[in-house]
Homo-oligomer: A and B are copies of this chain.
Amino acid sequence: MSDLVTFGETMLRLSPPGSERLETTSEFEVCAGGAESNVAIAANRLGTPSTWLSKVPETPLGQHVVGSLRRHGIETDVVWSHRGRQGTYYMERAGDPRGSQVIYDRENTAFATAEAREFDIDRIQNARVFFTTGITPALSSTLRETTASMLKAARNGGTTTAFDFNYRGKLWEPEQAEETLTKLFPGIDVLVIAARDARTVLGFEGDPRQLAHKLGSQYEFQTVVVTRGSDGAVGWHDSVVHEQDAYDTDTVSEIGTGDAFTGAFIASRLDGDDVPTALENAAAAAALKRTIPGDVALITDEEVEAVVSEGGDDLSR
């Protein structure tokens, strides 16, 4: 039985090698990535048995995604669909001042039609934490309902609910996101949110400490984590605010950094760590993730501990 159950869409990611441009590349590297499966994998690798729920087309592309996730160790419990596309996204890596670029190709997917009644809700209710993100309800009106139903089922089953706000400007407008997501807030115990989203989507003001405090108080979350990229993170819990710096890192792939952070935070909390320790582990996992190609945090407990205790490894031989 998994301690963590996540629900969301995982896409096939297609990236030109190195810094090639989408316009001229002659090949794509393929991997699978999605916020909710990324979180499940990060948590699973750090010791929290995890399951990913989704709806996937019964095609080689859908099987590619599910096989990839299974390889990384998590359980997958998917509804196989005979209709709808497999979502893909194109990722062009670039240094400054060009900047990396993402093109979503995720309309009319099988996942967009996923309804709560298609899933085994016991899975959620028997877990210790249920997790999804603000991307899921952005994908279709059906998913808006499904997300709400699942959060409610989790709450009814006594399962802690965790949610990453994850606003995606390529999917919807800020107003729409605000309206939809704040409606879900009462059903959420642990909120992770980027400081930028708290400001531009929710209209909060202040430094990250203030954002965390305001969010926590106003919506009566159990825990709020405000993330600030390379500036670290702030955790609010029991009305206390804890600050955590980011670790220095040689970035190979920035995608999935936040998910590594969140997965490690959840795993650490489920492991009994207090919020400051969980933030520390989360920051270490995020730094490690950035050294790894692809979307997924292929990290180990030992590596997280090494970062926390000494800032990482020298070449040992």
Does B103 lie within 8 Å of A61, measured CB to CB?
Answer: yes
Copies of this polypeptide in the complex: 6
> Can you name the residue of chain B whose Cβ is closest to the Cβ of A298?
B21
Interface contact B252-A64, CB-CB below 8 Å: no
23 interchain pairs, CB-CB under 8 A? A18-B252, A18-B293, A20-B293, A21-B292, A22-B61, A23-B60, A27-B29, A28-B30, A60-B92, A60-B101, A61-B90, A70-B71, A88-B105, A96-B291, A97-B247, A97-B248, A97-B288, A97-B307, A98-B288, A98-B291, A98-B312, A99-B316, A101-B315
Given A70-B73, A95-B252, A250-B95, A317:B168 Cβ within 8 A: yes
A90 proximity list for chain B (CB < 8 A): 60-61
Which B residues are CB-close (under 8 A) to A108? 107-108
Report the separation of the CA atoms of residues A26 and B293 in the bound assembly, to the nearest whole angstrom: 13
The listed residue (B21, B287, B298) touching A23 by CB distance below 8 A is B298
Q: Which chain B positions have C-beta within 8 A of A92?
A: 60
Q: Is the CB of B30 within 8 A of A97?
A: no
Per CB-CB distance, the 5 closest pairs between chain A and chain B, nearest first, are A95-B250, A97-B312, A99-B313, A22-B60, A71-B71
| Alpha-carbon separation in the docked complex, A317 to B104 (Å) | 8
Are B97 and A313 touching (Cβ within 8 A)?
yes
Give me the interface of A with B, judged by CB distance under 8 Å. Answer: 14, 18-31, 59-61, 63-64, 67-68, 70-73, 85-86, 88, 90, 92, 94-105, 107-108, 168-170, 247-252, 254-255, 284, 287-288, 291-293, 298, 303, 306-307, 311-317
Q: Point out the residues of chain B lying under 8 angstroms from A107, CB to CB.
A: 85, 108
A60 to B73, CA, bound (A): 14
Contact B29 A26 (CB under 8 A): yes
Chain B nearest Cβ from A70, distance in angstroms: 5
Q: Would you call B247 and A23 a contact (CB within 8 A)?
A: no
Measured in the bound complex, the distance between the Cα atoms of B107 and A86 in whole Å is 12
Query: In chain B, what residue has the closest Cβ to A69?
Result: B71
Beta-carbon contact of A103 and B252 below 8 Å? no
Q: Is the CB of A27 within 8 A of B24?
A: no
* Measured CA separation A36–B70 after assembly (Å): 20
